[in-house]
Amino acid sequence: MSANQVSNGTVDENNASKISSMNKNIKFLSCALGIGIFLTVTTVALSAATLGTVIKQSKDTPTSKPSLGSTYAESIEISDVMMHLKELQNIATNANGNRAVSTLGFNQTLDYITSYLSTQTDFKVARSYFYLRKFIIGANPVLLTSINGVETNRTFSSNLSAAEFYFIQYTRSTNFNTFVLISPIPNLGCSDGDWSAATPAPAGQVALVKRGDCTFAAKAALASKYNVGALLIYNDGEAPDRFSPIFISLGQSNELPALSLSYNLGRQLADAAQNPSNNVGVRIIIQMADESSYPVGNICADTPTGDANQTIIIGSHSDSVPAGPGINDN
C-alpha cells in the first residue's frame, strides 16, 4: 500500500496541509459501496475548479491560480474529471436514465470503475458483493382495531398529517386472520424491565410502544427478543409536530411486522389496554410485493505499498438515485 496522499474533498486547506505532512508510510484504502477512488478525486477537482472560477470572476484583474495546498489536488485536470462524468452520463443514458443500485446502469458503472483502475493505476482492485433486501409495498397496509367489540378501520395515508398509521420501512409481511391482543409496554420500551413488566406478556401479542428515550431500532430489538407478533410505535405528542405517524426505518435486519401510529391512536389503544377489564386487539395486513435480497457490488482499490497498520480509508458512492444519472453527486 502506498504513501500517496489523497484528498477526499471533505477537509479544509489547513487539514489538507496536515495530511500532506503525515508519515509517508501511511497506507491508503478506498473502499465503500461500489466506489472508485477517481470518483472521490472528481469531487475534489470539481470543488477546486468551481472555487477557482468564482475567485477569478470576483476580481477585476486576473491573478495567478490560487494554491490548493496539495500537489495531488493541483495535479487534477478538469478535462480528466469531465471525461469520467461524461462516461457516467453515457452509461445512464443507455440504461433507462439512471445508475441506481442493482440496475444495469449501476453494474456498468462498477465495470467502468474496475476497468479504469485496473488499467490506469497500480492499485490492487477487488470487487466483492453484499446483499440488500428489497422493500416494495404491494398494497396499502390495513389496521383494524377492536375495543370491547367495537371495530374501527384506521386511516392510512401517505400524507402523514391525515393518517392514523403508516408502514415502517423494512416491515415484514403479515396477515392476521383474527384480532390479536395489544400488549402496552410500560415506560418507553427501552429496557428489559419494561418488557418483562408488560401485561399481557408481549410474546405472541402486538407490542405497543411510545416514541422516546432510545432508538426505534433498540425498541424493535427488544420486541424481537420478547417474541412479539408485531410492533406498533406511536408518536409522543410532546410538540405540535409530534402527533402524526412518523417515517421510521428499522433497517435491513428487521424481521417484525411493524407500523407507525399517530399519538392520538396510540394513546387511545394504550389507555384502553391498560384497563384489564377491556378487550383490546388489532388486525394487521401488510402485503409486500418483494422482500427478496439482491447482490450489490463493492469495489476496493488498495495501494500496493505502505504500512498495513496505518490505513486511511476514503469512501465514495457510485450509484445514483432512480430519478436520474447522479452526475452532480459523483
* pTM assigned to the model: 0.66
Phi/psi class of residue 227: alpha, beta or left (left: φ > 0; alpha: ψ in -120 to 50)? left
Q: How confident is the model at residue 14 (pLDDT cuts 50, 70, 90)?
A: very low
What digits encode the pLDDT tens for the residues 151-195? 999 999 999 999 999 999 999 999 999 999 999 999 999 999 999
Determine if the peptide bond prior to 200 is cis (ω within 30°).
yes
The C-alpha torsion from 52 through 54 and 59 to 62, rounded to 10°, is 30
Q: Is-contact 283 142, C-beta < 8 A?
A: yes
Write out the H or E segment, with its range, that includes residue 261: strand 258-261
Q: Within 10 Å of residue 305's Cβ, how many Cβ atoms?
A: 12
Q: Is-contact 143 282, C-beta < 8 A?
A: yes
CA–CA gap between residue 314 and residue 50 (Å, rounded): 22
**DSSP string of 270-284?**
HHHHTSTTS-EEEEE
Task: Return the percentage of the chain with pLDDT > 90, whole number.
Answer: 62
- CB-side exposure of 225: number of CA atoms within 13 Å? 14
Domain with CATH 3.50.30.30 in the chain: 136-290
What is 136-290's CATH topology? Answer: Glucose Oxidase; domain 1 (3.50.30)
- Mean pLDDT of the region 235-250: 95
CA neighbor of 145 nearest in space, from 174, 180, 171: 180
- Mean pLDDT of the region 266-270: 97
Strand partners, 298: 128
Task: Specify the length of the chain in residues.
Answer: 330
Pairwise pLDDT comparison (67 vs 62), residue with the higher score: 67
Give pLDDT, residue 178. 96
CA–CA gap between residue 95 and residue 105 (Å, rounded): 5
Give pLDDT, residue 58. 39
